[in-house]
């Protein structure tokens, strides 16, 4: 780290501690050249993730929207808030691990359905019926038959 006083390119860390509720690290440094002390902060660089909608428009990823969609699918089902939080966290981790700056709603929907299918068949079918926009009862029944065949 370059010294802000004499611009020597080397400094040594003399103290480190968490700051901003653990979201950054505060470091006290001492310049090797002039001996003056200064403070730096280290933060994780956040990726601005954009969601590409079916109509081609883009909007920032919103964890709350993902959570609300899953909650609606799980209403009146024996699924705990902790399970929903775990599903949302796992999906969010998968999305960010792709290291892309954009993701389609289709990709997110597939991740949600994959997760719900493992937890609760009814929640899965509820989400799939909205996500896949089932046109009639036959489409709905086809999805249920696929689910039954896998069991």
Residue 8: per-residue pLDDT: 95
97 and 115 housed in the same domain: yes
Tell me the pLDDT tens digit for each residue of 73-121.
Answer: 999 999 999 999 999 989 998 998 888 899 999 999 999 999 999 999 9
138 pLDDT exceeds 90?
no
25 and 91 housed in the same domain: no
79 and 99 housed in the same domain: yes
Mean of the pLDDT values across residues 28-42? 96
The model's pTM? 0.65
Tell me the pLDDT tens digit for each residue of 55-81.
Answer: 999 999 999 999 999 999 999 999 999
Domain span at residue 39 reads: 11-43
Looking at the chain, the whole-number percentage of residues with pLDDT higher than 90 is: 65
76 and 145 housed in the same domain: yes
135 and 69 housed in the same domain: yes
The two structure tokens encoding residue 125: 């079918």
Helix, coil or strand: residue 76: coil
27 and 97 housed in the same domain: no
- Report CA torsion sign: 45, 81, 102, 118: positive
Domain tally, the chain:
2
- Mean pLDDT rounded to a whole number for the chain: 89
Sheet of 24-31, strand order: 11-19, 24-31, 37-43
79 and 97 housed in the same domain: yes
């Amino acid at each position: 780290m370059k010294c802000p006083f004499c611009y020597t390119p080397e400094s040594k860390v003399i103290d480190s501690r968490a700051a901003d509720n653990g979201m950054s690290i505060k470091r006290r440094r001492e310049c090797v050249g002039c001996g003056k002390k200064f403070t730096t902060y280290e933060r994780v660089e956040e990726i601005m993730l954009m969601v590409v909608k079916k109509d081609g428009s883009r909007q920032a990823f919103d964890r709350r929207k993902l959570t609300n969609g899953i909650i609606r699918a799980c209403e009146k089902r024996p699924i705990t808030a902790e399970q929903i939080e775990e599903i949302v966290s796992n999906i969010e981790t998968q999305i960010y691990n792709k290291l892309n700056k954009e993701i389609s709603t289709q990709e997110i929907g597939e991740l949600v359905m994959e997760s719900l299918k493992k937890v609760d068949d009814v929640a899965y079918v509820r989400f799939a019926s909205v996500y896949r926009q089932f046109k009639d009862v036959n489409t709905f029944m086809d999805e249920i038959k696929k689910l039954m065949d896998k069991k």
